[in-house]
Chain A
């Protein structure tokens, strides 16, 4: 029993998740069904993929405010190339654009020694502006069935976006727990100076971390573009906030050194379930933001040491 409580303290996001599931199950009989869960998972997948990348960034003591704008520009490039036909090339280009913006962030942060908040805030503005210019402010719509499968299809009853989300989840988990990059993310976030003195190429790893974050945004953008069969210049607005909220709900510390991708997954699920549950209960969208905000505050208060 004591171990159970200790475990609960260690994984508060999981506890919050269970709590919220129970509450909504009691309040709505349409909530606790398999089809609704798949629905929630599909909705959550977009935010969750971005949040996974953000997890690595936040663990390393940084922040990436540009994820939403990078999402948009990746979608724009992807969509424009899709129009000329080659799906494979389009996806590759979309991911490359996301990675490039991430690399740019990482480069300026590491070499310029400027705070990530400022750098990624600037990139957020720049990438958004590029998107608007590139798309001339107009959406690009109508793609092939094959491409739409990424957003709308399902394999063995499970929506493809959900499968992609789990793929990205496993990748992040692997990076954080098995690779040097993951270890160094924790080390840099915990004590950058000590990490540098241990002989770690801190600058290079920071660049890799932000590149990953940009890449994750791009992957998420591919999924949403396929699902909506359209790319819009206003894609991704406020996504950085949802991603940060999910990571923090998952138990990461904004000062770095702490956090897990499992936590982030449940953090994202909590956000998604609140959306879904409130919709099922017909709560006015005007109130929904307040509920989300309150949940974030409550969770963070509970997680204090």
Chain B
């Protein structure tokens, strides 16, 4: 056994995040770690990575007990971690990030050119479409995730830990990542892999361990489990319908945009959304689908020839305030950068986005804000020690739920959801799908942007596929299949 974590216990104020958890890892295996949001997966990983110190238990690496008091210790021991909250130097380039701490050249003369070139080779080998000179701050979450993966893979570690590496990237990159993982495995590298997508677990992992409420509830070979069993172990009940769909599309067009352009990202996109319909937008990382959302919401500069929302002509949307006044709401994809104010608690995050509900003029009614927050916690089953918990201390999936909650208190007329299920567990996903159906049936226009093809295919009535900022096609009915979407997304015309 390469690594053994025994009886690991970790307490945070108000929660027991890990309760006597055992975990082990063999040489050359891929071991998946699954569980609901807040189950303790990231916490376990952070203990292995030296970010947190356990309150109890021990870590045995190669038969020797080790103590990691900082991430450096863990890295020195041959463990490389891709954390769920990416830790990149935002102001540096992709290449500099990949080689951070291991710069080429000497300390008095860093060889920038060589680093750029080697980074380019690495990215090419991984077939990640990234410019090594691009500054990380300018990248979107998916691209940042690719940088973090590239960085972790080049550390030559014996153990690579990946905390939800696939949450933000598309099918295409996921496949690349999996084939790299399998290669690494052949070379004796061990991998701990966390994901909420069970298909991925079955296609890449050898063993799986299930956590629930901080306890280990099962562990074994992947073959020995069925998907349903895993779901039941994770959430404590079976889920019969993973993709509920009961929205009723009508003919009435409630939103239309013609010739939408977001300079540098989106060109000449035209579509409409009908009452009761779930309108999907799909495409690879960097195809401009996120920018399309930002443009419609006024968060980045955008132009359009014509826009109509219900019966009213929309002249322009200059900023998010304009959009919100019209009843257009966007659930942003990057919860850390755009969704949450991490240093503030749940109540304050919700109050900031809903001042129309919690403040008449100047004064805020904290009582109202608290009751909204409690409502949100219930409705979205957010796992938090209290509504006063700082959002930075919530698990990734629970952060995502707070983002959803904070925007949906306004009764919107058009909702643009960008990767709304990113990082949330199976149970919560189903809840979000219900929510989307309900929104559509209530007469709200729904634009659903996602990189996760199964949910696009199962939920959407029509799907706009983008490639390099352009609209390739709008698929409808039977045409909506993963193959067709992928083909269009890679720029191949579909009939």
Contacts and interface: CB of A to CB of B under 8 A. Distances in A.
B partners with A: yes
A190 interface: yes
A193 B339 CA distance: 8
Contacts of B362: 179-181
Contact of A184 (B299, B338, B352): B352
B352 A187 contact: yes
A152 B186 CA distance: 83
Nearest to A189: B343
B352 A198 contact: yes
A183 B348 contact: yes
A197 B299 contact: yes
Contacts of B353: 198-199
Contacts of A178: 363-364, 366
Given A197-B320, A197-B330, A183 B352 contact: yes
B406 interface: yes
B398 to A, nearest CB: 16
Interface size class of A (residues with CB under 8 A): 20 to 34
Interface string B327-354: 0001010000111111110001001110
Contacts of A193: 337-338
Given A180-B355, A199-B321, A200-B355, A194 B338 contact: yes
Nearest to B299: A197
A196 B341 contact: no
Nearest to A204: B321
A191 interface: yes
Interface string A103-135: 000000000000000000000000000000000
Contacts of B340: 191, 194
Contacts of A186: 341, 343-344, 348
Contact of B351 (A183, A191, A257, A258): A183
Contacts, number: 73
B324 interface: yes
Interface string A160-197: 00000000000000000011110110110011011111
Contacts of A194: 332, 337-341
B359 interface: yes
A201 interface: yes
B124 to A, nearest CB: 32
A179 B362 CA distance: 5
A201 B321 contact: yes
Nearest to B294: A197
Nearest to B392: A190
B357 to A, nearest CB: 12
A190 B320 CA distance: 18
A257 B390 CA distance: 12
Contacts of B323: 199
Nearest to A255: B343
B406 A198 contact: yes
A190 B349 CA distance: 10
Contact of B343 (A179, A180, A258): A258
Contacts of B332: 194, 197
The listed residue with most A CB atoms (<10 A of its CB), out of B330, B332, B338, B363, is: B338
B356 to A, nearest CB: 9
Given A178-B364, A183-B364, A184-B352, A197 B338 contact: yes
Interface residues of B, number: 28
Nearest to B341: A190
Interface in B199-249: none
A191 B334 CA distance: 12
Interface in A219-262: 257-258
Contact of B344 (A179, A180, A187): A187
Contact of B341 (A179, A181, A201, A257): A257
Contacts of B366: 178
Nearest to B13: A6
Interface in B270-317: 297, 299
Contacts of A197: 297, 299, 320, 330, 332, 338-339
Contact of A257 (B321, B337, B344): B344
B295 to A, nearest CB: 13
Nearest to B359: A180
A15 B478 CA distance: 69
Contacts of B359: 179-180
Nearest to A201: B321
A178 B323 CA distance: 27
Contacts of A258: 343
A79 B324 CA distance: 48
A221 to B, nearest CB: 26
A180 B332 CA distance: 23
A187 to B, nearest CB: 4
Nearest to B403: A194
A136 to B, nearest CB: 42
Contacts of A195: 341, 352
A187 B406 CA distance: 14
* Most B-side CB within 10 Å, residue of A186, A198, A257, A258: A198
Contact of A190 (B297, B342, B406): B342
A238 to B, nearest CB: 30
Contacts of A179: 359, 362-364
Nearest to A203: B319
Which of A179, A193, A194: most chain B Cβ within 10 A?
Answer: A194
A178 B351 CA distance: 12
Given A196-B299, A199-B321, A180 B341 contact: no
A258 B320 CA distance: 25
A266 B86 CA distance: 37
Interface in A13-59: none
Q: Which of A200, A201, A258 has the most CB of B within 10 A?
A: A200
A257 B340 CA distance: 12
Contacts of A184: 352
B342 to A, nearest CB: 7
Contacts of A257: 341, 343-344
Nearest to A181: B362
A258 B338 CA distance: 19
A200 B352 contact: yes
Contact of A191 (B297, B319, B321, B341): B341
Nearest to A195: B352
A179 B351 CA distance: 11
B341 A199 contact: no
Nearest to A256: B343
Contacts of A181: 362
Contacts of B338: 193-194, 197
B330 A187 contact: no
A211 to B, nearest CB: 15
Contacts of B348: 183, 186-187
Contacts of B364: 178-180, 183
A191 B341 CA distance: 5
Given A193-B338, A199-B323, 13 more contacts: A180-B355, A181-B362, A183-B355, A184-B352, A194-B337, A194-B338, A194-B339, A196-B319, A197-B297, A197-B299, A197-B332, A198-B353, A199-B321
Listed from nearest, the 6 A-B pairs whose CB atoms lie closest are A190-B341, A198-B353, A199-B324, A257-B343, A191-B341, A190-B343
11 contacts: A178-B366, A180-B363, A181-B362, A183-B348, A186-B344, A186-B348, A190-B342, A195-B352, A197-B339, A199-B353, A257-B344
